[in-house]
Amino acid sequence: MKEHHHRYTPEFRSEAVKLVTEQGLSHQAAAKRLSIPKGTLANWVAASKTVVLSSEPGSLSSRELAKENVRLRKELAEARMERDILKKATAYFARESLQGTRS
């Protein structure tokens, strides 16, 4: 028995996925309505979710997120150090100005 491989247009695939994701049909009901294999439709739905997740504006890979996390931790540590230095300098100059007014 020879298998038939169908070529489906991107528009057809998109509309098939919408039957499941937007109209709430089950994979089985949508596949039956379109006369396509349920597994094929399930693959399209899964692929569409992956594409949406990775193509969202600002989305980063896990490697990029890890690098960004390291960069932000360093930046935060530097900002905290600068804040602490400024606190000490403010306290020092406040003491100095109080002593200067007590002549």
How much is the pTM? Answer: 0.47
pLDDT the model gives residue 88: 95
pLDDT the model gives residue 66: 84
- Per-run averaged pLDDT (10 residues), the chain, 103 residues: 71 90 90 92 86 58 82 96 96 86 61
Return d(Cα 97, Cα 94) in angstroms, integer: 5
Judge whether 36 and 16 are in contact, CB under 8 Å: yes
Return d(Cα 38, Cα 27) in angstroms, integer: 6
